[in-house]
Structure 1
Amino acid sequence: MTSTKFGSCEIKDVHIVEDSRPLILFEQFGFAPNGHVDISTKQVTWKSKHQNAKLNISSMGFFLVRDESYPHILNESSYTDGFCVLSSMHVKIVFRFNNLAPDSTFNTSVSIEEPDEYNLVFGNCQTEFQVSMKVHTEMYNIDDEGRPDFLPAGQTSLPRLYFSFFLAYAVKLAIWSFICLKRRLTVHKIHLIMAALLLFKALKMICASEDKMYIRKTGTPHGWDVAFYIFGFLKGVTLFTVIILIGTGWSFLKPYLQEREKGVLMFVIPLQVLENIASVVISETGPVKKAWFTWNEMFLLIDVLCCCIILFPIFWSIGSLKEASRTDGKAAKNLEKLTLFKQFYIVVIAYLYFTRVVVSAIGANINYRYHWVSVAAAEGASLVFYLFIFYNFQPVEKNPYLAVDDHVAEDATVHQSLEIEDPLD
């Protein structure tokens, strides 16, 4: 359910083809003291649809800019005639195109004297011209041993952080496997799916750790990003499936799924496939591509849809239990289950809100050197959420969730067409 923002690497090769955008964002990077930006360009060409257009070649080039400088640049452009962002006092020029070699190539390395989080941007102040070029960028800091560290400042501790969460999930998987083997008579199919969820989550965390470790040392993930995407996709599908199945009471309250509940599963799983594709495109291409922002918006939209859809089965189960508690003569038992389902509903809502809103707020408001804090908050919330689910839905005979009650199942079928009341009443 949590999403970890991954860049494919901090050494990038990008091919720009006939692009006339005034600003092209290449990368954002947190620099420590003595950080470096290396850029090389080749095969630089430009053309205009207007035959009489004259190019001022110094109006194109690369620069570094802080996030907080954008409002100042916008204000500066409002009162400066013929404003060009490359001439702004709020940007640090890397190089302009008037410094290109005769063969349309250029190589430069810039040291960062004022450590901060910077955006590497290509500026084109004559948008009537379309630019094509191949660009190679390297952004890195220097560690205590004098070696390049390709992770931004604030992310250097992520390999250890992810590995710690891998160990936590591996231990949880071992404990869960032991519990299931010891209590095999009370194990349902849902418990096996929950074990798969722990496995995929643990594998995702170890792949994330290796991915960040290799990027830190070499600037590229050495294929670990592919494994991360695969296990991340499997974890996402399995987690949504577990929440939906628990929310419907499948294997706990009733041994079957109704048509509408099957429909929810069949709708969410394809959405998770699309979300995974969007996540890969966002991570691998970066903001330099024209369609990047569209894919980013699609990712957010699909994520919101999935989060909303998984709540409906919980509504339905709460409604069915309310009806059953009033009619079948087992009010105390059903009310106990109803209370637990309400707790489950509240915890799911709290988890979604924290990981989607609170974590984003933390990331937006803390210094770039503490980016790891937002990652720790997101993954810590996921771990707590998993512990809640696995504790309350473990295979225990007297657990109020776990006894399949045929009478409740029949009553749920009878009342499936009734109007469902507010689940939080």
Structure 2
Amino acid sequence: MKFCVVPINTRLVYVIIHCFLCLLTDGRKHRLILENDDRHYILASSFGFQRGGLLTLTVSGFHAFSANSPEQFNGTTKGRHGFTIDKSRNFEVANYFEKNQEACIFGENDKPRLDNSTAMILVEIIPDGPNEIARVIVNKQPSGGSIDGVDIFSCSQTLVELKLVDHLVDDEKGQSLSVSQQARDASYPELHSCSALENGNKAKLIKRDFKYYFSIAIWLGNVENEGAYSVFYHNCPNYENRKATRSSLTIDIVERNGNDYLAVGERFSPTVYFIMAFLFLATAFVWGWILHTAKRDVYKLHYVMLILVFLKAASLLCHGVNYHFISALGAPLEGWAILFYITHLLKGALLFITLVLIGTGWAFIKNFLTSKEKKIFIIVIPFQVLANIAYIILEESETGDYRYTMWGYIFMLVDFFCCGCILIPIVWSIRHLSEAASTDGKAASNLQRMRLFRRFYMLVVCYIYFTRIVVMIFDMTVPFRYTYLNTVFREGGTFIFFLLTGYTFRPTLENPYLLLSQEDADNDNDDVEMDDVVVYDRKHNSDQITLRSSAKGDDAESRANLIV
């Protein structure tokens, strides 16, 4: 296999780096910008809260208008707009949407009924109109139960601090605080400038140039309040007529558990990534030592596998550092984020290249790639790069963004397509060895290699099934406290796959699978067959080597004893 050096366009590199910088978001400080959006509901964020967690929701520049005319939305227009903050056991589907897909909770007609299993906070936006006063009504639904103990605040001063509005006509003032409330405000000093709201009270809604602004904070004070919370925006007129109104607004959400910006289920994620990075790094050094001590049995593909393990360790290390800074600051550092995406991109491409090379038997069985195998490379590598780019965009996009759903489908389809492609050369190798075993008189050697590729085929299938399907199902069903186990299973499964693959194709003379075919190199020597076997005799102090070879056209077996 020949490699060529491709000249790199410097301008292209700058463009790629610029795209990475543009994609970087603020970690757990979410900002979702909606322009002329006609979706009837949008998932803005999901987060796992423990007792003492705080969610801040800030909406700026809100205005809605008819899809057929630029007329502003007002209180007399049929339908409402607002937010629901839904509590559930995990992040699969919010409890409310399991039973109500076509009815808006703020709707005037056919309002859905909420049972005792539903726990949510309602934030209804009512702009001013001929008979309406601009206001934001905040309710807990149902009152009491698992939502009891949640304190809600109106925080208009946050709009000034974020420079969304210039000034306020009157400042919100807090009330006398109890001991528990003083402890709460000690953890969240920003609540000092907020005013507490009772259930059904109105938060301050500010109007500037026909656009509306408000900010609320939600503090979860009891153990019963812990759970997976999802923030949804609702455009109620579009539940009945999907294109009735369009809305434009900017949503800023900050989620915290005390001083930790990670969800309660992600609190161990940095530790998991650091541990897995150490395991892969240690494995890389062990693999390098094996290659150093078995020089004559080492092929180029073994060094490719070594580079792959180092890249995997570097990718996990950068990912762990990213999570560490998100936990402390709410956002990753740009330098570490770029390093993670670069190592992840290289690791993903090299992983599929390595699997395809092993599947074709390159270096282990033959020194060349057929035209069909080269076409597999031409197809797999660009698609794998596309899959990794889709993954990066998903990581750096907000859940409610239009492109999030599109790139999610692209990533899933392209990733499964690439996984299917790497199985094709393995099937070709198994079929080739099966046919060769019955035609060229070397059944024993080819059958051994065929068993190898069957084993490797099953190994790859199990790896794909576990890391793509089982882990995804587990992620949808695991309780919100244990979402970090998804990372443990995915990276742990990958580590086991790397270990088994390395052990199967380890560079050792006793491994009959790695006897390289030399028929093309030995065409001029008709007296020696490819299935010659070298046997080491360690019974005596000296090394006695018995060379057994079968000459063509001669049934007698010639033996030569060599003393080393």
Gaps of 5+ in 2: 1-23, 89-93, 127-134, 137-204, 239-243, 523-564
Distance 1:180 1:102, change over 3 A: same
Task: Please say if residues 30 and 368 of structure 1, whose CA atoms lie closer than 8 Å, have aligned partners that are also in contact.
Answer: yes
Is the partner of 2:401 in helix, strand or coil?
coil
The residue aligned with 1:32 is 50
8 Å contact from structure 1 (residues 59, 84) kept in 2:
no
> Does the 8 Å CA contact 1:64/1:118 hold for their aligned counterparts?
yes
Which moves more between the two structures, 248-257 or 66-75?
A: 66-75
Please say if residues 254 and 409 of structure 1, whose CA atoms lie closer than 8 Å, have aligned partners that are also in contact: no
* 1:1-150 alignment, distance < 5 Å: 9-50=27-68, 55-56=74-75, 59-65=80-86, 66=88, 67-74=94-101, 82-83=109-110, 90=118, 91-94=120-123, 96-97=125-126, 98-99=135-136, 100-103=205-208, 104-112=212-220, 114-127=225-238, 128-142=244-258, 147=259, 149-150=260-261
Residue of structure 2 in register with 1:379 after alignment: 491
Out of 396-405 and 187-196, give the one that drifted further: 396-405
Distance in 1, Cα, partners of 2:26 & 2:512: 46
The 1:399–1:15 alpha-carbon spacing in structure 2 relative to 1, beyond 3 Å, is same
Asked if 2 retains the 8 angstrom alpha-carbon contact of 1:253 and 1:408, the reply is: no
Deviation at 1:279, TM superposition (A): 1.0
**3-state SS, counterpart of residue 137 of structure 1:** strand
Deviation at 1:270, TM superposition (A): 0.3
- Structure (1 or 2) with the greater helix fraction: 1
Measured in 1, the distance between the counterparts of 2:347 and 2:302 equals: 15
SS of 2:232 mapped into structure 1: strand
- Structure 1 counterpart of 2:61, one-letter code: Q
1:284 is aligned with what amino acid?
Answer: E
TM-score by length of 1: 0.88
Distance (Å, rounded) in 1 between the aligned partners of 2:73 and 2:475: 44
Q: Does residue 1:351 correspond to 2:463, yes or no?
A: yes
- Give the deviation of 1:45 after TM superposition: 2.5
Hey, what does 2:312 align to over in structure 1?
201
The aligned counterpart of 2:282 is: 171
2:369: which partner in 1?
257
Q: Quick one: distance in 2 between partners of 1:75 and 1:50?
A: 22
CA distance in 2, matches of 1:364, 1:289: 21
What is the percent sequence identity of the aligned residues? 30
3-state SS of paired residue (1:105): strand
Distance change (3 Å), C-alpha of 1:49 and 1:155: closer
Structure 1: distance between partners of 2:483 and 2:355: 29
Contact kept, 8 Å, 2:63 with 2:248, in 1: the verdict is yes
Work out the CA distance in 2 between the residues paired with 1:336 and 1:390: 18
Q: Which residue does the alignment assign to 2:189?
A: none
1:324 maps to what in 2? 436
Q: Superposition pairs for residues 214-293 of structure 1, below 5 Å?
A: 214-223=325-334, 224-293=336-405
**Kept after mapping to 1: 8 A contact 2:507/2:514:** yes
Distance 1:343 1:126, change over 3 A: same
Matched AA of 1:55: N
Contact residue 391 and residue 411 of structure 2 kept, 8 A:
yes
Judge conservation of contact 1:46–1:129 (CA < 8 Å) in 2: yes
Structure 2 CA distance, aligned partners of 1:248 and 1:409?
20
Cα 1:262–1:232 change in 2 (3 A) is: same
Q: What is the deviation of 1:201?
A: 0.2
Residue 75 of structure 1, CA deviation:
8.1
**Offset at 1:68?**
2.5
Name the aligned partner's letter for residue 82 of structure 1: N
**Cα 1:120–1:324 shift into 2, 3 Å:** same
Aligned residues: CA RMSD: 2.5
What is the deviation of 1:159?
Answer: 0.4
What is the match of residue 419 of structure 2? 307
Q: Does 1:157 align with 2:282?
A: no
Deviations 1:16-38 (A, max 9, x none): 11112111111111111122111
**Aligned counterparts of 2:123 and 2:256: Cα–Cα separation in 1:** 15
Number of residue equivalences: 399
Which of residues 484, 505, 528 is equivalent to 1:393? 505
Bigger shift: 333-342 or 393-402? 393-402
For 1:129, give the aligned amino acid. T
In structure 2, how many angstroms separate the alpha carbons of the residues matched to 1:331 and 1:323?
10
Q: CA deviation at 1:41?
A: 2.2
Amino acid at match of 2:248: S
Tell me how far apart the structure 2 counterparts of residues 331 and 409 of structure 1 sit (CA, whole Å): 21
Match of 2:480 in 1: 368
**Partners of 2:26 and 2:330 within 8 A in 1:** no
* Cα offset, 1:94, TM superposition: 4.1
Q: Distance in 1 between matches of 2:26 and 2:461?
A: 32
Shift of the alpha carbon at 1:44? 2.2
With normalisation by structure 2, the TM-score equals: 0.67
Q: Deviations for 1:46-70, whole angstroms, at most 9, x for unmatched residues?
A: 2224457863388212221142221
**Cα distance in 2, alignment partners of residues 355 and 54 from structure 1:** 47
Give the CA deviation at 1:81.
6.8
